Structure 1
């Protein structure tokens, strides 16, 4: 045969016998020559190979390469669509993560601002005061039942909610003053807007009163209403109100609102409406009311020491503005030292040895610590003054423990 096919995709033909050994002729069709580079791929498909054996081969040595080219220029679409879907899904996931992160940052910032607005150190005094006052009517361990503990805990939440109203109203009324005295407060720094603070005050008040009514205890409802009225009268700048501008009225509001009102209503609630016993004003109760009132007066004096500059500019005549920081600090320390001395003296006449020792030693030690701490206060340093104010609160908490040993 003139044409012989083999497995390597080549064929051979008879060629001119004068063709030299090893020479290769490349065969190009006229059409390929005409189109030049456009058909160069076709020209590389075949080659003519001459030999002395009077044969030549036309090899198709690039079929495999052409198949690669076809695969390269005709890629299947199935790899493109899923990739686009994956990219779109990744973008959506990233956007969702960004939105969620921004929301968490916003929520964290608002919760921190609310925490600072509510003055958490006041929460502690409320919780400790309610628990301690509620334990005063206890006569034996048999009174400490699960029902008793639940009833003791119930008034804590509405009382804290009403206290949030009090501090929110106070800060809303003192924005101009706090810009000078306390620029880190959330209302001054802008972490909470005025509208948000008003909403917090209204919601806290309504929630507190609703929860108080649900407890069905007249002493607790009266205590919540009284706290609301005194808090508003102390802060709101209206005729016959704004009691903080008068040292006398400020002391009256704080003694009733934070002194007597922190002890007596909760004692009456437990004594009559939880234990079902007749109301009896015991010696520990009278001591607790008196000491709580004294601490409230001292705290009201010390609270105004860091605010002297702002109060002067706003025309608020607090006791530190009238008498000066040094005299108010000395007077507050002296009042507490006299209270501690009286408590230690009362312990001398206690018929129970343990109560005698705890009352005498405890109040003597606290009085000495108070005197030592007062010597280190730097009234020109706001941090030092505030630290002493918080220290008095800590003494207040300790007294709620010691009052149970006064017998």
Structure 2
């Protein structure tokens, strides 16, 4: 096993994205708006370590369960069973989970909320149950993955904002946490769409695993039409949100409408006319880019508001 193959196994690019988004909130939004926080830089890094190690373990267990499907869907990218044995995979899975839970317990103890370790325990259990059972079920598996992605955003507020609430700052803290919720909902919507698109993309291998994903039950055409219709939900909600919150700041409004919403409209046209596996791969990547662009808006919001103020 090489370092490269291990990094591919744990989806290092996705982990970097998680770290980057969490850093944006901590050092862009929280810092500029003087949000009271409970974690210093070192402790926040440990929170991030807990998040990405558990996420990495989730990717490993996913590949362990999906070996047969991946051999069909992406034969050139199969690592478990080729470069790394299943036994090694399980070893890394357990090690990463233990490290993540220990780091999570430390952070929970540090902020004076030991019960918060339950969040990490639930995440580990959900990832295990998702890969062993829920992934085979239509919609539920997509929902769980999307929920866990949004949790990687909310967890910043749970550990950094909530423990720092006092009688004097409760209003400001609530507002800051509400912003995190807004972004978590944004991430959830786009991740949910992306998970369904990925199911369409992987339908051939999933059939071999006797899964009952939405595309297998309804077919590619009906499922992609459902994705197209569901895309109107974020299109409408994000547009309304942008006008309601940024109408007084034209640059922010323009960013959301041009940089985030226009690519979504492009995605909707691509998914509507998608036919090949490559078309669905492109659609999936588009959603990932849109989600990232949406997250990056926190930088635009933070610095624009500071400049205007």
Tell whether the 8 Å contact from 1:341 to 1:363 is kept in structure 2 after alignment: no
**Equivalent residue runs for 1:43-54 within 5 Å:** none
Aligned 8 A contact 1:162 1:208 in 2 = yes
Instruction: Map Cα deviations across residues 203-236 of structure 1 (whole Å, 9 max, x no partner).
Output: 1011111111122244763332222111001112
CA-CA distance at 1:374 after TM superposition: 4.6
Partner of 2:245: 350
Q: Does the Cα contact within 8 Å between 1:165 and 1:205 map onto a contact in 2?
A: yes
Alignment equivalent of 1:156, drawn from 12, 26, 48: 48
Tell me, which stretches of 5 or more residues in structure 2 are unaligned?
none
Q: Which residue of 1 aligns with 2:256?
A: 362
- Contact 1:305/1:325 (<8 A) preserved: yes
* Structure 1 residues 320 and 121, CA gap change in structure 2 (3 angstroms): farther
Deviation at 1:352, TM superposition (A): 6.8
State the 1:169 CA deviation.
Answer: 0.9
* Pair 1:372 & 2:266 matched: yes
Larger relative CO (CA 8 A, sep 6+): 1 or 2? 2
TM-score, with structure 1 as normaliser: 0.63
2:64 paired residue among 145, 148, 172: 172
Assess, with a 3 A threshold, how the Cα gap between structure 1 residues 364 and 376 changes in structure 2: closer, same or farther. same
Helix, strand or coil at the partner of 2:30: coil
Q: How many angstroms does 1:246 deviate by?
A: 1.2
Quote the residue 1:129 is aligned against: 21
1: CA distance between counterparts of 2:147 and 2:10? 20
Is the partner of 2:200 in helix, strand or coil? coil
114-123 vs 342-351, which deviates more? 342-351
Q: Give, in whole Å, the separation in 2 of the partners of 1:247 and 1:195.
A: 29
Which residue of the partner structure matches residue 136 of structure 2?
Answer: 245
Whether the 8 Å contact between 1:170 and 1:235 is mirrored in structure 2 is: yes
Q: What's the C-alpha RMSD, in Å, of the aligned pairs?
A: 3.1
Partner of 1:196: 88
- What's the CA shift for 1:302? 1.5
The question of 1:223 aligning with 2:115 is answered: no
Taking the aligned partners of 2:2 and 2:31, their CA distance within structure 1 comes to: 45
Task: Deviation per CA, 1:225-254: give whole Å up to 9, x if none.
Answer: 222111001112xxxxx0011123213312
Alpha carbons of 1:193 and 1:232: their partners in 2 closer, same or farther (altered >3 Å)?
A: same
Q: Any idea what SS the aligned residue of 1:155 has?
A: helix
Partner of 1:307: 202
1:232 aligns with 2:123: no
Map residues 10-21 of structure 1 onto 2, 5 A cutoff: none
Task: Return the alpha-carbon distance in structure 2 between the equivalents of residues 220 and 400 of structure 1.
Answer: 25
- Deviation, 1:402, is 2.4
1:50-89 mapped onto 2 (5 Å cutoff): none
* Closer, same or farther: CA 195–375 of 1 in aligned 2, 3 Å: same
Deviations 1:134-193 (A, max 9, x none): 468737565699x74444333212211101111111111121222211212343561111
**Would you tell me which structure has more helix in proportion to its own residues?**
2
Q: Which runs of 5+ in 1 are unaligned?
A: 1-108, 237-241
> Is 1:399 aligned to residue 289 of structure 2?
no
What is the TM-score with the length of structure 2 in the denominator?
0.80
Give the deviation of 1:379 after TM superposition: 4.6
**Residue pair 1:126, 1:160 contacting (<8 A) in 2 also:** yes
Which segment drifts farther, 292-301 or 371-380?
371-380
Alignment CA distance shift 1:351-1:114 (3 Å): closer
Aligned pairs, number:
291
Q: Which residue of 2 aligns with 1:115?
A: 7
